[in-house]
Every structure is written in C-alpha cells, then in structure tokens.
Amino acid sequence: MNFTKLITATATLVTAILLIYPHGAAGQQESPGKRTLTIDDLFIIANVGDPRLSPEGNWVAYTVSKSDLKEDKSETRVWMAPTAGGDAIPMTAKGASASSPRWSPDGVYLSFLADRNEGKTQVWGLNRQGGEARQLTFVKQGVKSYEWSPDGKRLLLVIKDPKPEELAKDEKKKKRPKPWVIDRQQFKQDYYGYLDRRREHLYLATPGDSTTTQLTSGDYDDSEPAWSPGGHQIVFVSNRTANADANDNTDIWIVSAETPDAGKTLIQVTTNPGADYSPSWNPDGKALVYVTVTQPELIWYATNHLSTISPQDRHARLLTEALDRNVNAPRFSPDGKSIYFILEDSGERQLAKVSLSGGNLNRLVAGDRSVRAFSMNDSGALAALITNPHLPAEVFLLKNKSLKQLTRTNADFLAQVRLADIENIHFQSKDGTEIEGFIYKPPGFDANFRFPTLLRIHGGPVSQYDFRFNFEAQLFCAHGYLVVMTNPRGSSGYGQQFSMGIYQDWGNKDFEDVMAGVDYAVEKGMADPQRLGVGGWSYGGILTNYVITKTDRFKGAISGASEVLYVANYGHDHYQHEWEAELGLPWENRELWERLSPFNAVEKIVTPTLIMGGEKDWNVPILNSEQLYQALIRLGRTTQLIVYPDEHHGISRPTFRKDRLERYLAWYDKYVKGEPKAESSGSSE
C-alpha cells in the first residue's frame, strides 16, 4: 500500500504547488554559472520563524536568525513584511536578540521578548507610528512567554519562580554557588540542569507597570496560556497529578482573569490520563480545541489527535482518531465552523482543516513542501511558514485559496548556488513493508555513474524526514555524495502501528528498513556499493550503532550523540519515565535492556567510526559515546571521539557547528571516498 495515498484529500491547492515549484514537483533547472554549496553557507542562510499576522491583515511580523562565525554567536531579529507585497522591514536592531513577536489587538504595538541592557528577558513594545522600543514588563527573574489580552490593556505572562540569589540584594551572595538539593523523581533535564522545585506560573501585568498579579501557584508548571475571547478567563496546560514526574499526563485548566486568587480557584476541563495540550478557544468562548494523546502507555509512539470540549459540560469529542496521523497547533476558523491545524503525513507537513464533526478533511497546503507554523487573523487571512527541498523556510500568505510568497530572505543566496535534486522514493523492506525515503542527487547527476553514497538516519526515533530544506544533505551532495534518507519503522507520519514497529525492538526492523533504502539506491544504479557511509545524530546515532554491529558494508560511520549501553543511562539522562514505560525497571527486566544494547555486540564493529557529542548533553549523555569510544580503542578499531565543551544535545556555537561539518566531510572523504584530507580547522592534532 502506498502511504502517500492512505487518506484522500478533499482539496489540494494546485496553484500553491506551482508557486513553490514552477519547474516541477522536485526538480531543479540547470543554472549555469552557479557555484556549489560550502560549509560557510551555513552562516549565510538566515532562518525565518514565528510568523504573526497583524489584526487588520496588512503586515506579517516574523523572526530572522543568523549565526556570526567571526563573533561566534547567533542573533535573532524581528522583521515585518507587507501582505500586499514589497520589501520587508527590520523592526529590531542588530546587536541584541529579540523573539516572540506579537501584535497588540489594535495593531498599534508590535511587541517582542528581549534581554536588552544586560538584564533579564522582558516584554518590549514598538509603536508602529514611530519611536524607540519601550519596556513593558519589569520582572526580576525575567519573562518566559506572554500574550496580549483581547482589549490590549493587560499582558498575560509565564514567569518562573526566582532563585534566592535573584532576589538577594548582596552582590556577593548572588554570585556564591550553592549545592543542588534534589528531591524530585525527574531531577534533571538537558539545557536546564538539575531540577528543583521552582515552577513556571501565570501572572497578569499592565504594560509599563512593574507590579504583577499571580494567577496560578503550587508545585506544578503551567504553560500554553490563552485568553478567552472576552478576556474573562484564561485556559492553560498543567500536570497537577500527585507525582507529575512519573507520568506524561497534562490537562487543560481554566483560571479567572477577573478575580485572581493565585490559583486557588481553578476549573479542570480535561481528565484524560494522557497528554492534553495546545488549547485554543472558539470565537464565542464556549468551546476549546486541543491536541490529545489517548494511549499514554505508548509514550512517544502514540498518535496525537484533535479533540474539542465544552468547558461547561466537559465532554471531550475526539475528531481525528480514524485519521491516524499526528496533528498540532489547532485553531478555530473565525466563524467557528472548522478547525485549522498542521498535519504530518507521509513525508509531508500539511496545513489542513476539518469540520467540527472531524469530517471533510481539506488539505489546504499539501504536496512536496513542509508547513512549519501558521498564524490566522479574525478575517480568515493566514500566514504560514513553508519550506521545501530548494527553499529554506519563508513566510507565505494564504488568502481566498491563493498562496503567495511574502518573504525572500535567502533569495540572494539561492541565486548563487546549485542545489541537489531530490527524488521521493518508495521501496519494500525485507518483510515486504513499504518504506518511504528521499534520495538527494549531486548537482550534475549522471545516471550512468555510481556515486559514493551516505545513508543518513534521522533522530527521534518518532520523527520523519520530510520535504523541508536540509542543509547537511545539500552539503554532502555538493561534495559529490549521493545521500539516502529513509523513514524507517519508528518514524512518524505513517500511523501509530508503523511507529510502534520498533517498540521494545530497537535496531531490528528499522535496521532492515534503512538497509533496504541503500539496496534500492544500489539496484537503481545510483549508489556505489563499494563506497558507502552511514551516520546520524541522536536516534540517528543510535541506529548507526546498530548498523555497524550488524554489517560491514559501510566504509565509514559517524555516531553523533548516541546511546550504546542503555542501563548506564538509567538515572543519568532525562528519560527515566520513558525507559521504564518501554523496557521496565532495569533490575527487574535486565535481559531486555541488555539484549537491545549495541554495546554488547561492539566486538563486531569493524567500520572506522567517528564518535561525537556535547559535554553537557543530558538528553543523550556523552557517557555512552565515551564507552563506545573506549571499547573501540580497546579492540584496536579505527575511531576518534569529539566532545564539544559546554554544548548540550544540539550544537549551537557557530565555530563548533562548522567544526562538526568539517569533520563529517573529512571522515567520509577519507574512509568512504578513500581521499584523505586535512583535519578540521578545530582539530588539536
């Protein structure tokens, strides 16, 4: 069965497809005079995000992030573009990052978050009639997120409880370190470190006033708040179970915005034992739409569905159970008769809508592209962030079934470079299961030539490769590699049963699936079977470890931020609940823990393997990478360990990001192509 046609759409915007792909669905016309992609292009490309349509629909505000290799830092600025067409305008200056653009309800102010003047992150506002940005909040520990009230007179803030030193007046005490006192079951998290009892709660503030009014309290975190249309109530998400660290439950709650009592009077709207999140009101304030997980025992393998509920009768209605695809970011249409959302389906991220009954599925923006976010105003105009394999994300306007590109942030860059063509492929795995994937072909691809080929594996595992712009794949192609990227079992986009294909069975069916992708490229005459490489980051690194313990077909491997001896992670990474839910307690079900661990077959590895990770990664700790390296060194195998100081699961420092790409290419060139090159500029050798 072809997964791309599992569910019939009621409509597809053909005009939109033509706008994004004027020369065909996935092809690229030859462009003489263009150059090939280089590593430094990573720092030329700007990343567009968080589009926000203005109330009257004349402007879209958005963020643009760029990395500065010379300064070794990244910066985000707020821009806005006219929906009628024309040049975009920078709204915040260089030298100070800004994020989370929001319009005041009357459209007069464009607000954002920034930590200007070396202070904590606060809400700032720009009057569109002119003048400098004005600080709107004055919170000692800073603001995490915010939303304007419907009348524009108040701000709803998410604020984390302060550290004692943040309230201390003595500067010496502020700088004096203290021991971590730990008493929580979930006691650590990547990027946050050791977890204490400080929590994130909701507050109200008047713009420009230093006082705040607390709305929620207690030993719980509160998030995703949204004002009711009348401004009298606030809906939010919180796990208020007896031991929130021991489950994945979150519920939808409502608190009054008129008689705040620090959370003493709350209405619990949902009671589903799984996660309920991303709530949004309908226009009359009598119903909510949200995302729900009805089978929490399946942890991340469970499909996320749309649901509606009335806060009055609290009867939930599941809308997309038969769809069996992940959804997110639901919003009611302005007339309240349908629901817009992002739909993940078979290598695509689509903008879709359904009726209140869950029927009449309409895929508004579909095809060979990926919708990353959207914003809609009261008139029904919609701004969407869209990317495709030849286009880094840009802002598009969807109005009256017509899609128009508003921003061209990377147009100058795209005009200079030749990019790889992409082929969307479907093939059968060893047991006959259909698998989808993508083959990136080097510029100037010759069907009569077999190319050195890289199997690149995505993280997750419940994630997918889709039709977005992929810089790494393009870079590999620019250096003469064919790149095979597959969505093996465990991936999202193909239904819950497909994701569950690796439950308690990592490195088995998904190994067969990715290898079938390589075999497909070899059988089609594209891939050179004697010059194969493999690699990935996170679960991509984990599956790489399985691959190199099961086959010697690959000449070079790169295992990034991976796990290899799973019991070593228990109590060390931040996945204790997930480990227990899938594998059981290690002292009770040790056989399964050991059976799945690639470390126990490490002596079978003969592939030269580059091992990488961040020093402070508590998502997939560097501990396992060190163990894999130690074992390979002890066995006399060809290997190297690269640890990036002060980095977490994602490598953020620009010079380290460049170093990682240089090492990728040097390792593959040496062991896959057989062409030794100089080490990375960051090498200590």
Provide mean pLDDT across the span 78-94. Answer: 94
Determine contact, residues 498/489, Cβ cutoff 8 Å.
Answer: yes
Residue 636 maps to a domain: yes
Provide mean pLDDT across the span 30-35. Answer: 73
Provide mean pLDDT across the span 106-132. Answer: 90
Residue 646: predicted pLDDT: 96
Residue 678: predicted pLDDT: 44
Which range (47-61, 248-262, 654-668, 670-684) has the least confidence? 670-684
* Rounded CA separation 625/612 (Å): 7
Instruction: Encode pLDDT of 476-515 as tens digits.
Output: 999 999 999 999 999 999 999 999 999 999 999 999 999 9
Share of the chain above pLDDT 90, in %: 85
Q: Which helix (H) or strand (E) holds 403?
A: strand 402-405
Residue 263: predicted pLDDT: 74
Q: Determine the distance from the C-alpha atom of residue 429 to the mean position of all C-alpha atoms in its chain, rounded to a whole number.
A: 28
Name the residue range of residue 572's domain.
420-673
Q: Residue 175 pLDDT more than 60?
A: yes
The structure's pTM equals 0.92
Residue 555: predicted pLDDT: 98
Residue 164: predicted pLDDT: 80
Provide mean pLDDT across the span 366-391. Answer: 95
Apex CA 478: angle with CA 476 and CA 479, to 5°? 65
Residue 240 maps to a domain: no
> Cα-flanking dihedrals φ and ψ of residue 314, to 5°?
55, 35
Residue 33: predicted pLDDT: 82
Provide mean pLDDT across the span 360-377. Answer: 95
Q: Determine the distance from the C-alpha atom of residue 130 to the mean position of all C-alpha atoms in its chain, rounded to a whole number.
A: 35
Residue type, 159: I
Share of the chain above pLDDT 70, in %: 93
Q: Residue 674 pLDDT more than 60?
A: yes
Q: Residue 683 pLDDT more than 50?
A: no
* Rounded CA separation 661/560 (Å): 12
Residue 571 maps to a domain: yes
Please state whether beta strands 451-457 and 527-537 pair in parallel, antiparallel, or not at all (unpaired): parallel
Determine contact, residues 602/635, Cβ cutoff 8 Å.
Answer: yes
User: Can you give the CATH number for the domain in which 433 is found?
Assistant: 3.40.50.1820
Q: Residue 8 pLDDT more than 60?
A: no
Q: Residue 26 region, left (φ>0) first, then alpha (ψ -120 to 50), else beta? A: alpha
Residue 7: predicted pLDDT: 32
Determine contact, residues 624/165, Cβ cutoff 8 Å.
Answer: no
Residue 32: predicted pLDDT: 64
Residue 677: predicted pLDDT: 58
- Supply the mean pLDDT for the chain: 92
Q: Residue 629 pLDDT more than 50?
A: yes
Residue 96: predicted pLDDT: 87
Provide mean pLDDT across the span 330-340. Answer: 96
The confidence band for 268, taking pLDDT boundaries of 50, 70 and 90, is very high
Apex CA 198: angle with CA 195 and CA 200, to 5°? 110
User: Could you tell me the two tokens for 266?
Assistant: 């709350």
Residue 21: predicted pLDDT: 31
Residue 149 vs residue 4, higher pLDDT: 149
Provide mean pLDDT across the span 656-660. Answer: 98
Please list, in sequence order, all residues whose beta carbon lies within 8 angstroms of the beta carbon of residue 7, skipping any fewer than 6 positions away. 323, 325, 345, 361
Residue 25: predicted pLDDT: 32
Residue 336 maps to a domain: no
Provide mean pLDDT across the span 311-332. Answer: 95
Apex CA 354: angle with CA 350 and CA 357, to 5°? 150
* Rounded CA separation 549/534 (Å): 12
The confidence band for 517, taking pLDDT boundaries of 50, 70 and 90, is very high
Please state whether beta strands 639-644 and 222-227 pair in parallel, antiparallel, or not at all (unpaired): unpaired
Provide mean pLDDT across the span 123-143. Answer: 91
Determine contact, residues 69/75, Cβ cutoff 8 Å.
Answer: no
Residue 400: predicted pLDDT: 80
Q: Residue 10 pLDDT more than 70?
A: no
Residue 453 maps to a domain: yes
Q: Which helix (H) or strand (E) holds 411?
A: helix 411-416
Q: Which helix (H) or strand (E) holds 17?
A: helix 14-20
Residue 254 maps to a domain: no
Residue 404 maps to a domain: no
**Number of folded domains that form the chain:** 1
* Rounded CA separation 296/539 (Å): 21
Provide mean pLDDT across the span 174-191. Answer: 87
Cα dist from 273 to 239, 291, 296, 415, whole Å: 10, 13, 7, 51
Please state whether beta strands 639-644 and 73-82 pair in parallel, antiparallel, or not at all (unpaired): unpaired
Residue 457 maps to a domain: yes
